[in-house]
């Protein structure tokens, strides 16, 4: 009865919005969320100018999106690692509020424990939500489904731990699940390996990393991204045949490790380091998948009525697993995945919405992943439950050409050590207000301040020369962490970690 009432309420609110708005309602919504795609990992320049890294990649379909939509050069992920960002998108709550602050794997198991031994800081990670989202949460898919949409998930889910209800996207409101489950990486990208980890190693047997549901492609010469998009295009065509509104969450496992080449594209990268050439083929394969989806939507007459958002769940991998020098794969941004610096959290963002978003436009207004929850729902005329607390803001007025009204600053909270050493890869909290970004490293109490509009590489720490701004933003950071009830790490051996204001006072002595 309650569920029926909720469905009726959502449908009525959708009708009311359609009657009272001059903005065309998005009939279909597509979220294209690439895994680990860095700010520089496409041929679309998100910097002020095209760079050699942009020249490296072949992504004509991403270029098409940018020509036909809005490029956001200061688009951010909610976290420098995957699960916190993905759950923030599907819940509208920042990791600081949800306490999903690290990547999940097994239910009721703290995944940070194996990595803590590698952390030289004095901190112990705090308690956090190790299970991720569950079937009781008002997820994007649940709200869209209740409003009459066909909800399809394809690819990497990583929204709930193995053994929890959130491990299966079907429990989170999706009507169709293509290859999604609890783990965050694939066993293999090759159909000849059955997409199994042991298949990649030349061994029999199963592992948790094996990609499910694609048995029709086993022992075939097919790349994982290609198999997933083929199944997805079939689901899109079925939605069109059934005359259903569509919410599609397309989330390829690429370009997450293991870095494995799509051999048909290797000839395009003869001068690159072999590992980097393999990586480039993964990027190109994702772009072909993007093109296949756009073509299918167009062929079915759906694209003209579709809000399409293209982004990534965190900054590009750079601390390990790549070719060449470490920590420079997102340059001029500093560092990469797992880091507090821009390379860890600034990601590609492109929005295409015909009749609403002006074509070929660019903006430096900062946005963040958990803004997508209220924005996608609002664009489609679906209401957020009144008792659901949000940290994201509705971007649709901004996408229509207006100002972005944001009451609170962008906030990041990662009170864990990711497990690989590199610049900024430490337990931290940070915020951005205007062009200024303040970072608080929880282990040593270090505070840094940067103007990321003028200095995207975070090369000049302004905290010593602008103490008033550092104090103001430190106070704001402390207040935001308290407002969202963020959990804090603790000092080994008992006691509490150095608070952000105490760290500031110590620095200014």
How high is the pLDDT of residue 507?
Answer: 61
b or e along 471-481 (b: 16 or more beta carbons within 10 Å of the residue's beta carbon)?
Answer: bebbebbbebb
Q: CA–CA separation, 26 vs 32, rounded Å?
A: 16
Q: Residue 273's pLDDT is what?
A: 96
Residue 402 or residue 503, greater confidence: 402
Can you give the pLDDT at residue 16?
37
Question: Higher pLDDT residue, 348 or 14?
Answer: 348
Residue 20 pLDDT > 90: no
Mean pLDDT over 112-136 rounds to 85
pLDDT of residue 509: 57
According to the model, what pLDDT value does residue 117 have? 64
Residue 316 DSSP class: P
Say what the pLDDT of residue 434 is. Answer: 97
Torsion, Cα 205 419 53 70, to 10 degrees, reads 90
- Averaged pLDDT for residues 239-246: 98
Answer yes or no: are the C-beta atoms of 268 and 284 closer than 8 Å. yes
Domains and CATH numbers, the chain: 2-116+123-401 (3.40.720.10), 427-507 (3.30.1120.10)
pLDDT at 114: 76
Averaged pLDDT, 9-22:
42
**Beta carbons of 396 and 378 less than 8 angstroms apart:** yes
CA dist., res. 260 & res. 6, Å (int): 45
- Percentage of the chain with pLDDT > 70? 94
**Mind listing the pLDDT tens digit for each residue in 197-229?**
999 999 999 999 999 999 999 999 999 999 999
Give the model's confidence band at 18: pLDDT under 50 very low, under 70 low, under 90 confident, else very high: very low
- Quote the pLDDT of residue 12: 38
Q: How far is CA 196 from the centre of its chain?
A: 25
Quickly state the pLDDT bin for 2 (edges 50, 70, 90).
Answer: very low
508 band by pLDDT with thresholds 50, 70 and 90 = low
Q: Kindly give, in sequence order, each residue whose CB lies less than 8 Å from that of residue 4, ignoring residues fewer than 6 positions away.
A: none
Taking the C-alpha atoms of residue 455 and residue 451, their distance in angstroms, rounded to an integer, is: 6
pLDDT of residue 5: 33
Report DSSP letters for 347-361, one per residue: --EEEE-TTTSPTTE
- pLDDT for 3: 39
pLDDT given at position 429: 97
Report whether pLDDT(504) > 80: no
Residues 6+ apart with CB under 8 A from 421: 118, 319
The confidence band for 13, taking pLDDT boundaries of 50, 70 and 90, is very low
Which pLDDT tens digit goes with each residue over 52-72?
A: 999 999 999 999 999 999 999
Mean pLDDT, rounded, for 161-175 = 98
Work out the pLDDT band at 371, boundaries 50, 70, 90. very high
Give yes or no for a contact between 121 and 417, defined as CB atoms under 8 angstroms apart. Answer: yes
Q: What is the mean pLDDT of residues 72-93?
A: 98
Note the pLDDT tens digit of each residue in 89-113. 999 999 999 999 999 999 999 988 7
| Cβ atoms of residues 119 and 109 within 8 Å | no
Give the percent of the chain with pLDDT over 90.
87
Average pLDDT, the chain: 93
Partners of 352 in beta bridges: 308
Answer whether residue 118 shows pLDDT above 50.
Answer: yes
Cross-strand bridge partners of residue 150: 246
Residues 6 or more apart whose Cβ sits within 8 Å of residue 156: 35, 180, 184, 185, 186, 251, 252, 253, 256
Collect all residues with Cβ–Cβ distance below 8 Å to 428 and sequence separation of at least 6.
340, 412, 414, 415, 439, 440, 441, 442
pLDDT at 484: 96
Task: Say whether pLDDT at 417 is over 70.
Answer: yes
Distance CA 467, CA 355 (A): 46
pLDDT at 167: 98
Q: What pLDDT score was predicted for residue 39?
A: 98
186-204 tens-digit pLDDT = 999 999 999 999 999 999 9
In this predicted structure, the answer to whether residue 250 has a pLDDT above a threshold of 80 is yes
Let me know if 97 is exposed, middle or buried by CB neighbors in 10 A (0-12, 13-18, 19+): buried
């Amino acid at each position: 009865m309650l569920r029926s009432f909720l469905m009726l309420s959502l449908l009525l609110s959708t009708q009311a919005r359609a009657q009272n708005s001059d903005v065309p309602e998005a009939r279909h919504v597509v979220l294209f969320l690439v895994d680990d795609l860095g700010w520089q990992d496409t041929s679309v320049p998100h910097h002020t100018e095209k760079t050699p890294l942009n020249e490296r990649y072949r992504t004509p379909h991403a270029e098409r999106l940018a020509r036909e939509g809005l490029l956001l050069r200061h688009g951010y992920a909610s976290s420098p690692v995957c699960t916190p960002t993905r759950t923030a998108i599907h819940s509208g709550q920042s990791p600081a509020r949800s306490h999903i602050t690290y990547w999940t794997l097994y239910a009721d198991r703290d995944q940070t424990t194996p990595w803590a031994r590698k952390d030289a800081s004095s901190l112990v990670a705090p308690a956090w939500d190790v299970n991720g989202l569950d079937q009781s949460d008002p997820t994007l898919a649940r709200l869209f489904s209740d409003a009459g949409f066909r909800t399809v998930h394809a690819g990497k889910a990583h929204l709930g731990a193995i053994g929890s209800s959130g491990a299966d996207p079907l429990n989170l409101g999706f009507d169709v699940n293509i290859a999604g489950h609890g783990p965050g990486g694939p066993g293999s990208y090759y159909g000849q390996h059955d997409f199994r980890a042991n298949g990649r190693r030349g061994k029999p047997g199963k592992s948790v990393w094996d990609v499910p549901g694609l048995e029709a492609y086993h022992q075939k010469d097919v790349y994982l991204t290609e198999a997933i998009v083929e199944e997805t295009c079939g689901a899109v065509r079925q939605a069109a045949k059934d005359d259903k509104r569509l919410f599609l969450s397309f989330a390829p496992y690429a370009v997450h490790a293991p870095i494995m080449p799509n051999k048909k594209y290797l000839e395009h990268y003869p001068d690159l380091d072999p590992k980097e050439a393999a990586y480039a083929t993964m990027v190109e394969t994702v772009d072909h998948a993007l093109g296949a989806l756009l073509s299918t939507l167009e062929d079915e007459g759906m694209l003209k009525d579709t809000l399409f958002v293209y982004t990534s769940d965190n900054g590009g991998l750079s601390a390990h697993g790549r070719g060449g020098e470490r920590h420079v794969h997102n340059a001029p941004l500093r560092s990469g995945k797992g880091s507090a610096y821009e390379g860890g959290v600034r990601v590609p963002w492109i929005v295409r919405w015909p009749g609403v978003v002006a074509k070929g436009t660019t903006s430096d207004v900062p946005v963040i992943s958990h803004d997508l929850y209220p924005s996608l729902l609002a664009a489609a005329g679906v209401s957020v439950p009144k008792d659901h607390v949000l940290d994201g803001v509705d971007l649709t007025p901004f996408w229509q050409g207006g100002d972005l009204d944001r009451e609170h600053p962008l906030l990041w909270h990662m009170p864990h050590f990711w497990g690989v050493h590199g610049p900024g890869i430490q337990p931290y909290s940070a915020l951005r207000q205007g062009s200024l970004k303040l970072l608080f490293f929880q282990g040593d109490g270090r505070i840094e301040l940067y103007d990321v509009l003028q200095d995207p590489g975070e090369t000049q720490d302004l905290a010593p020369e602008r103490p008033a701004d550092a104090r103001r933003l430190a106070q704001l950071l402390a207040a935001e962490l308290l407002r969202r009830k963020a959990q804090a790490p603790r000092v080994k051996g008992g006691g509490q970690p150095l608070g952000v204001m105490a760290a500031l006072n110590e620095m200014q002595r």
